[in-house]
C-alpha cells in the first residue's frame, strides 16, 4: 500500500518522514484524498462565523521577526484601547449581529494582571450572550512570565472572567530551531501545547494555528501537525465540545513590513497541498479553516476543494494580517461572504464559535447589500 493510502487508513502507522512524502503527490490526487475525508462529514457545506476581531493594543514586550502588527520602527503607530472603548465596540458589533468577539493583542507591559480580567468581565456583563474567544497560548504564557502566575491559575481566572474559548494564535511553528529565528523569547512550542492541553482538560475548546511559508521546511510543518494530533482529546469529548481543538488554521506568512525579509510566498500549489495534508494528518481535529484574511478570499474558496471546510468569519476589522500586506483590513460583509461561497458551488452555513449551525443558505445566489 502506498503512503497516501496508509495515511488515509491510519495516520498513526505512518512515520513523519513518510508523511512528508505526501507533498510528492500531484495536487489533484491530494485534493481528492482530502475531499474523501471532508465530504462524508460536511458534504458541500462551507462554514463561516459572524464575528468581530478586537485587538486591544499593539504595544508588545516581545519581538517576533514576522510581525508587522506590533509597534516598532516599521510601525510607529502605537495604540492602547481602554476597557470602555473595547466594550463599546463589542456591544456595537453584537447589536449588528456578531455572535463572537475575538480578542487578542500584543503583550503590553503596561497592563496589570487584573486589567485582563476586568476587561473580560466587563464585556460579559455588557453582552452576556456573546461568545468570547480570547487570549491565545502565547498571551497566557506572557501572563505567566510577567506576573509569575501558573498556567493553571491564569486559565482558571480567564474562564471565571467569562472567556469561552481560546483562539489558536502564537503556535507559529513548534520546532525550537525555527522559533529561535522567528520569535525568540516568546512561548516555546512545548509550552504552547501545554497551555492548550490544560485548557482542554478543563473541558474547554480552542483552535490551533500554524504560520507557514517563511523559513520553515515541509518537515517542520509535518512535525507541527503531528504534535497537535498527539495532544488532541479523544473524539467523544471533542464531539461533545467538552475540550479539545475545534479547528486547525494554517496561516500564510505575509511578506510586508516585518523583519524577516522574505519576499517570496509559497506557490498556490504548495499552499493547497499543505491544507490537504493537514486534513489527512489532523483527521482527529474536526475542522480545517482556510482563513480568508490570510489566504485571500479566492484561494480560501479553492481550498474548500482541498480539505478545508471553514472560511473563518466576517471579522469587521482586521489589523494583524493586513499590517503585513493582506487585503483584509475591512473584513467582509456577511452577504458577500454568503454570495462568494454560493458562487463557488458550496452551501454557505453560518455557524457559532463551537460550530453549531446557525443558518444554512439553501437558496441561489443572495443579493448584495446596497452600500
Binding site for ligand SF4 (CB under 6 A): 60, 62-64, 67, 69-70, 106-107, 138, 183, 186
Nearer to ligand SF4, 57 or 197 (CB): 57
Q: How far apart are the first and last CA of the chain?
A: 55
> Of 192 and 306, which CB lies nearer to ligand SF4 in the complex structure?
192
Give the nearest distance from C-beta 183 to ligand SF4 in angstroms. Answer: 6
Given the complex with ligand SF4, which of 176 and 360 has the nearer CB atom?
176
- Closest contact distance (angstroms) between CB of 123 and ligand SF4 is 21
Largest CA distance in the chain: 60
Task: Report the nearest approach of ligand SF4 to the CB of residue 142 (Å).
Answer: 7
The least CB distance from residue 59 to ligand SF4, in Å, is: 9
The answer to whether residues 155 and 206 touch, using CB atoms and an 8 Å cutoff, is no
Closest contact distance (angstroms) between CB of 187 and ligand SF4 is 9
Smallest distance, Å, CB 60 to ligand SF4? 3
**Nearest approach, Cβ of residue 102 and ligand SF4 (Å):** 14
Alpha helices for the chain (secondary structure H):
3-9, 16-20, 27-42, 83-95, 113-126, 137-147, 151-161, 176-183, 189-201, 218-231, 235-239, 268-281, 292-295, 297-302, 320-323, 334-343
Nearer to ligand SF4, 172 or 305 (CB): 172
CA 52 from chain center: how many Å? 14
The region, left, alpha or beta by phi > 0 then psi within -120 to 50, assigned to residue 243 is left
Complex with ligand SF4: residue 183 or 338, whichever CB lies closer: 183
DSSP per-residue string spanning 313-363 = E--S---HHHHTT-S-TT---HHHHHHHHHHTT-EEEEE-TT--EEEE--S
Q: Which is nearer to ligand SF4, 183 or 342 (CB)?
A: 183
Bridge partners of residue 133, in order along the sequence: 102, 165
Q: Which residue number, 74 or 218, has a Cβ lying nearer to ligand SF4?
A: 74
Nearer to ligand SF4, 107 or 133 (CB): 107
C-beta pairs of 299-303 under 8 Å, 24+ apart in sequence: 299/268, 299/271, 299/272, 301/46, 301/340, 301/341, 301/344, 301/346, 302/268, 302/272, 302/344, 303/271, 303/272, 303/275
CA dihedral (107, 111, 113, 117) positive or negative: negative
Cα-Cα-Cα-Cα dihedral of 145, 156, 134, 303, to 10°?
Answer: 100
| Other C-beta atoms lying within 10 Å of the C-beta of residue 252 | 23
Q: Closer to ligand SF4 at the Cβ: 106 or 337? A: 106
Amino acid at each position: 500500500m502506498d503512503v497516501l493510502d496508509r495515511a488515509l487508513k491510519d495516520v498513526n502507522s505512518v512515520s513523519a518522514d513518510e508523511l512528508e512524502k505526501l507533498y510528492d503527490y500531484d495536487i489533484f490526487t491530494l485534493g481528492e484524498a482530502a475531499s474523501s475525508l471532508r465530504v462524508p462529514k460536511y458534504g458541500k457545506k462551507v462554514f463561516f462565523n459572524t464575528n468581530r476581531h478586537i485587538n486591544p493594543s499593539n504595544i508588545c514586550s516581545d519581538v517576533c521577526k514576522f510581525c508587522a502588527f506590533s509597534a516598532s520602527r516599521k510601525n510607529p503607530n502605537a495604540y492602547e484601547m481602554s476597557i470602555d472603548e473595547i466594550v463599546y465596540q463589542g456591544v456595537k458589533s453584537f447589536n449588528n449581529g456578531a455572535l463572537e468577539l475575538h480578542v487578542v493583542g500584543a503583550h503590553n507591559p503596561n497592563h496589570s494582571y487584573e486589567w485582563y480580567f476586568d476587561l473580560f468581565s466587563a464585556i460579559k456583563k455588557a453582552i452576556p450572550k456573546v461568545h468570547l474567544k480570547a487570549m491565545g497560548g502565547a498571551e497566557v504564557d506572557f501572563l505567566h512570565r510577567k506576573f509569575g502566575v501558573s498556567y493553571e491559575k491564569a486559565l482558571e481566572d480567564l474562564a471565571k472572567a467569562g472567556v469561552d474559548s481560546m483562539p489558536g494564535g502564537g503556535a507559529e511553528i513548534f520546532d525550537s530551531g525555527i522559533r529561535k529565528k522567528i520569535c525568540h523569547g516568546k512561548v516555546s512550542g512545548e509550552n504552547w501545547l501545554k497551555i492548550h492541553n490544560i485548557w482542554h482538560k478543563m473541558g474547554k475548546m480552542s483552535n490551533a494555528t500554524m504560520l507557514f511559508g517563511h523559513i520553515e521546511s515541509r518537515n517542520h510543518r509535518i512535525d507541527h501537525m503531528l504534535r497537535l494530533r498527539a495532544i488532541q482529546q479523544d473524539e467523544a469529548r471533542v464531539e461533545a465540545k467538552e475540550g479539545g481543538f475545534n479547528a486547525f488554521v494554517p496561516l500564510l506568512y505575509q511578506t510586508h513590513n516585518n523583519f524577516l525579509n522574505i519576499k517570496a510566498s509559497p506557490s498556490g500549489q504548495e499552499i493547497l497541498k499543505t491544507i490537504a495534508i493537514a486534513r489527512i494528518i489532523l483527521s482527529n481535529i474536526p475542522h480545517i479553516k482556510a482563513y480568508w484574511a490570510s489566504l485571500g478570499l479566492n484561494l480560501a474558496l479553492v481550498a474548500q476543494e482541498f480539505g478545508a471546510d471553514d472560511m473563518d468569519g466576517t471579522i469587521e476589522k482586521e489589523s494583524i494580517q493586513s499590517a503585513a500586506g493582506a487585503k483584509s483590513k475591512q473584513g467582509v460583509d456577511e452577504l458577500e461572504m454568503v454570495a462568494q461561497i454560493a458562487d463557488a458551488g458550496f452551501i454557505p452555513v453560518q455557524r457559532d464559535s463551537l460550530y453549531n449551525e446557525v443558518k444554512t443558505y439553501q437558496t441561489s445566489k443572495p443579493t448584495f447589500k446596497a452600500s
